[in-house]
Amino acid sequence: MTVAATPAPSPATTGGQSGVRLARSRRNAELSLLLLAMVLVAAYGATVEANLLDTVTPDFWMPAAALGAVFLGLHLVIRFLAPFADPALLPAVALLNGLGVGFLRRIDLGEAPVADRETLAVFAGIGGRQLAWTLAAVILAAGLLAIMRDHRSVSRYAYTLGLAGIVLVMLPAVLPSSISEINGAKLWIRVGGFSIQPGEFAKLALLVFFAYYLVRKREVLSLASRRFLGIDFPRGRDLGPVVGVWLISLLVLVFEKDLGTSLLYFGMFVVTLYIATERVSWLLIGLVLFFGGAYLAYVLGSTVGGPFANFYVRAEIWLDPFADPTDKGYQLVQGLLALGTGGLFGTGPGGGQPDILPEVQNDFIFAGIGEEIGLFGLSALLVVYLLIVERGLRAALAVRDSFGKLLAGGLAFTLGLQVFVIAGGISKLIPLTGQTTPFLSAGGSSLMANWLLIGVLLRVSDGARRPVTGGAGKASRPAGGPPEQLHGAPTEVIKP
């Protein structure tokens, strides 16, 4: 790649990389934002109680305080272990996580007998469990920051993680349905009372592998090509891994009956491939392959049935949910009705009827919240998600090594894509698939995996914003790490 291919960075985007600015850790800004987020969570809890109990109990602030203590712990860990990390990430995620806990507690309150509502314990019900999971997930993220002092160190385990990722993806597919199937999608491993979604963790593991693999192969992938119709197409032999991942994601689609996860993996891979090679052709190939595959599955589902039938049914529901509003289309219809009932301003936290919604604590939490906070509230939530994604991408832009760029860029995009898949699913933008809503949905797997993701983004952003100390970064590069990529260098050392 030539320098010309990269647009000259504007001062605004590179300004933060000047030595002077980078010296500021902005940890106090993070703390203030975090406090603001917790105040919002406490206010949300108070509104819920006012609507549901007709009174605000003296203990309304306790869930927010418990969450605040947990996040404050993480803030302190960041202060010491990743002092230059992006200050917006933790407060934004804490806000989402806090609202998720608040909404789940709101469901508990709604289901509790009226007499018991005022005395519902902080750790009771799914809200309390989510609070406990938050603690576990934040400890995990803190542990990640402690162990992984430099994001490049994970590249050492890239192949191990890649293998682990594939195993995690395939595991529910090969396990018997009794263990792995919930609501028609085989995505779980259920042991005793616990069910974990290995795919949530596989996402992270696979991305580390993708990033490592692509950094090594990006030269050949981006340079060796044939030009056709004005677009540079890669050589056939280089298509191997792409086709491999495509096949895996189609297998997921067919055997785990889950379009969302499949879309997520494939989108994740294609986008990291695109970031690595800067080839639009990869995006085109990816899109054609994915939509072609999905359409093929749809056609096969309508004619052959069998393993494709589930996808066909889902697509049919998506096309017209009101064709069978009480059975097959029930979930989607109820989600739409919840959103519609909320309207512009919503019914107010605690003022809606989320208990009518099936799976409101998981897949449909976005609709359940949307009923109560309305279009304006949901738009604000989307902006918070967008902020996290764009902050992740910003870390990717700023970090100096290619592996870090791919890792942070891929993770940030994956997070955004997951929000798109589930929020688009319940609002009938795309066919509905069983995805968790990051940081909101009840469930330990999703919460832990996404907090690990945030841990990685925090670490990469710390690396990106850390002042350059006389080539120390180069010297400390672990052996066997990804080769230094020179082409990105000009953008990274230019000063305004």
Best CA proximity match to 454, nearest among 128, 143, 108, 1: 143
350 in contact with other proteins (CB under 8 A): no
Q: In degrees rounded to 5, what are phi and psi of residue 86? A: -60, 125
Interface region with other proteins, contact rule CB under 8 A, candidates 62-70, 301-309, 339-347, 475-483: 339-347
Stretch that binds other proteins, among 5-13, 158-166, 167-175, 443-451 (CB under 8 A): 5-13
According to the binding rule CB under 8 A, does residue 353 interact with other proteins?
yes
Per CB under 8 A, the list member of 7, 176, 193, 230 interacting with other proteins is: 7
Question: What are the two backbone dihedrals, phi and then psi, of residue 434, each rounded to the nearest 5 degrees?
Answer: -80, 85
Q: Are residues 232 and 249 in contact, defined by beta-carbon separation less than 8 angstroms?
A: no
> Between residue 401 and residue 420, which ones bind other proteins under the rule CB under 8 A?
402, 405-406, 409, 412-413, 416-417, 419-420
127 versus 424: smaller Cβ distance to other proteins: 424
Q: Which helix (H) or strand (E) holds 190?
A: strand 189-191
How many residues bind to other proteins according to rule CB under 8 A? 62
The shares of helix, strand and coil residues in the chain, as percent rounded to the nearest 5, are 70, 5, 25
Please, what is the minimum distance in Å from the beta carbon of residue 460 to other proteins?
12
Nearest CA to 200 out of 445, 453, 423 is that of 445
Return the exposure string of 54-65: e unless at least 16 CB atoms fall within 10 Å of the residue's CB, then b: eeebeebbbbbb
Q: Which is nearer to other proteins, 181 or 278 (CB)?
A: 278
* Binding flags for other proteins, 243-272, as an x/- string (CB under 8 A): ----------------------------x-
SS3 189: strand
CB of 135 to other proteins, least distance (A): 30
Residue from 252, 136, 143, 249 nearest 194 by CA: 136
Among 60, 71, 209, 274, binds other proteins (CB under 8 A): 274
Distance CA 31, CA 117 (A): 33
Chain positions 380 to 399 lying near other proteins, rule: CB under 8 A, are 382, 385-386, 389-390, 393, 396-397
- Considering only 336, 411, 442, 460, the residue that binds other proteins (CB under 8 A) is 336
Count of Cβ atoms closer than 10 Å to residue 484 Cβ: 12
Binding status of residue 99 toward other proteins by CB under 8 A: no
Report how far residue 107's alpha carbon sits from residue 420's, in angstroms, rounded to the nearest whole number.
24
Instruction: State the residues that interact with other proteins by CB under 8 A.
Output: 5-7, 9, 113-115, 271, 274-276, 278, 322, 325-326, 333-334, 336-344, 352-353, 355-356, 370, 374-375, 378-379, 382, 385-386, 389-390, 393, 396-397, 402, 405-406, 409, 412-413, 416-417, 419-420, 423-424, 427-429, 485, 487-488, 491
